[in-house]
Amino acid sequence: MLDTEFQYLASHRDELLKQYGGKILVICGEQVTGAFDTMEDALHVAGEKHGLKNVLIRRPSEAQLEFSAPALSLGILSADTSQSDRSSR
Amino acid sequence: MPILHSQIEAHVKAPDGKIVQVPPASALQIRGPLIQVSVTVEQNFGKGLIAQGKSLPAPKSGLALVDTGASNSCIDEQVAKELGLPVIDVAIMQSASHEKHPCNIYPVQIMTPIVTLNAPRAMGAALATQGILVLIGRDVLQSCTLFYNGPAGQFTLTL
């Protein structure tokens, strides 16, 4: 997924850092289609320009995000959908 | 300030076959802090789509589990695909028991009847097999207050 965009980012990282600094980039194929200060703006313009197409949105300086969810990894979330809950204000 | 207050209910089958209600404290311990939610594309992304005259993906409903152990929120991968959500990055899922593996990142909006939560970078994961549509992780919780009242079997989430 997003192979072209990741390859482009890896091979142009220094150049992109020099040109855009710490901005959040929207990369579609081998093209930067926007540079933004906030994720909110980046998402808004990505939706406007590219619709629901897959595009890479990240800072060129950022390492690949790693995340952890131990209960998920271990398969012990254990929600029983046959039971009910109720919410109230 | 929107306040979501919830008490979890659970029922079990007794040895005589009757369905009996579990005390709230046990229900919360068994089921966890669950919220009925619907999900669609993240709010700002959605505004961009609307600006171009495009329609938003029709929301999908299911259960969200508040998971303070999860660094990031997650959406069921299959549901994300059915919604047609765009992949905007790829992350690595860490695990003590499995090899690290890549997972897609989607911009997601999580809606409850009372609060709407934005998860601009939610991970795609196989949640449906565990009866869950969404995990609400610490990326969303960083802008919330969560009060977990174990003895009462209740929890409160404020934004």
Q: For B80, name the nearest residue in chain A, comparing CA atoms only.
A: A52
Nearest in space to B135 (alpha carbons), one of A85, A75, A83: A75
**Interface contact flag, B88 A46, Cβ < 8 Å:** yes
Task: Give the pLDDT confidence of B96-155 residue by residue, as tens digits.
Answer: 666 778 899 999 999 998 889 999 999 999 999 888 999 999 999 999 999 999 999 999
Q: What are phi and psi of B114, to 5 degrees?
A: -115, -40
Concatenate the DSSP letters of all residues of B30-45 into one string.
HH-SEEEEEEEE-HHH
Torsion of CA A19, A20, A25, A28, to 10 degrees: -10
Query: Can you name the residues that pair with B136 across neighbouring β-strands?
Result: B66
**Interface contact flag, B74 A72, Cβ < 8 Å:** yes
Q: How far apart are the first and last CA of chain A?
A: 41
Chain A to chain B Cβ contacts (< 8 Å): 192
Contacting residues for B148 by C-beta, under 8 A, at least 6 apart:
B33, B155
DSSP conformational letter for A52: T
**Interface contact flag, B120 A44, Cβ < 8 Å:** no
Whole-number average pLDDT of chain B: 92
Burial class (CB in 10 A: 0-12, 13-18, 19+), B106: buried
Q: Considering the entire predicted model, what is its pTM?
A: 0.89
Task: Give the pLDDT confidence of B11-24 residue by residue, as tens digits.
Answer: 888 889 999 999 99
Residue pair B116/B140 in contact by the 8 Å Cβ criterion: no
| Number of other CB atoms surrounding residue A85 within 10 Å | 18
CA-CA distance, A43 to A45, in Å (whole number)? 6
Residue pair B93/B101 in contact by the 8 Å Cβ criterion: yes
- What per-residue confidence (pLDDT) applies to B59? 96
Instruction: Please give, rounded to a whole number of angstroms, the shortest distance from the CA of A48 to a CA of chain B.
Output: 4
Please give the ipTM for the structure prediction. Answer: 0.86
Q: For B139, name the nearest residue in chain A, comparing CA atoms only.
A: A67
β-pair type (B60-66, B74-76)? unpaired
Residue A79: pLDDT band (50, 70, 90) is: low
CA-CA distance, B10 to B27, in Å (whole number)? 5
Concatenate the DSSP letters of all residues of B7-33 into one string.
EE--EEE-TTS-EEEPPHHHHHHHH-S
Residue pair B116/B43 in contact by the 8 Å Cβ criterion: yes
Query: In this complex, which of A41, A69, A83 lies closest to B67 when CB atoms are compared?
Result: A69
What residues in B contact A24, CB-CB < 8 Å? none
C-alpha radius of gyration, chain A, whole number: 18
Task: Give the pLDDT confidence of B57-100 residue by residue, as tens digits.
Answer: 999 999 999 999 999 999 999 999 999 999 999 998 876 666 77
Q: Is A11 helix (H, G, I), strand (E, B) or coil?
A: helix
* Distances, alpha carbon A46 to alpha carbons A74, A84, B87, in Å: 35, 38, 11
